[in-house]
């Protein structure tokens, strides 16, 4: 893979959206992750700085822009530098209630 790209599952793990890399891969293959608005089903999808990643989990949805590619799975403050939150409020993860 090119030096300016990183596997999606690896980045999700480095950014602490998943506790294990295998769980990050499962999030992708089960359809819970979008990159630039398109559903991704391949955990090896190449991710680049500037891409917008949406992770939909059971109780929360996170929309973030990739700021950096990870080099390791470090502590949470280091992981937060990998992305910028694009959610509606102060950057906390948001769960939108279904109002239909």
Report whether CATH 3.40.1050.10 matches the domain 6-85.
no
Q: Is 68 exposed, middle or buried (0-12, 13-18, 19+ CB in 10 A)?
A: middle
Q: Identify the pLDDT of residue 93.
A: 45
**Per-block mean pLDDT, blocks of 10 residues, the chain (100 long):** 91 95 95 95 95 89 95 94 80 48
Token pair in block for residue 63: 């929309």
Q: Is 5 exposed, middle or buried (0-12, 13-18, 19+ CB in 10 A)?
A: middle
What's the confidence (pLDDT) of residue 99?
Answer: 53
Domain range annotation of the chain: 6-85
């Amino acid at each position: 893979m090119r030096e300016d790209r990183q596997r999606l599952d690896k980045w999700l793990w480095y950014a602490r959206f998943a506790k294990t890399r295998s769980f990050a891969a499962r999030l992708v293959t089960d359809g819970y992750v979008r990159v630039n608005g398109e559903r991704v089903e391949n955990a090896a999808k190449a991710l680049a700085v500037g891409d917008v990643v949406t992770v939909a989990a059971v109780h929360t949805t996170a929309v973030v822009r990739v700021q950096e590619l990870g080099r390791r799975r470090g502590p949470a403050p280091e992981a937060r530098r990998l992305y910028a939150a694009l959610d509606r409020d102060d950057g906390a993860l948001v769960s939108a209630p279904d109002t239909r």
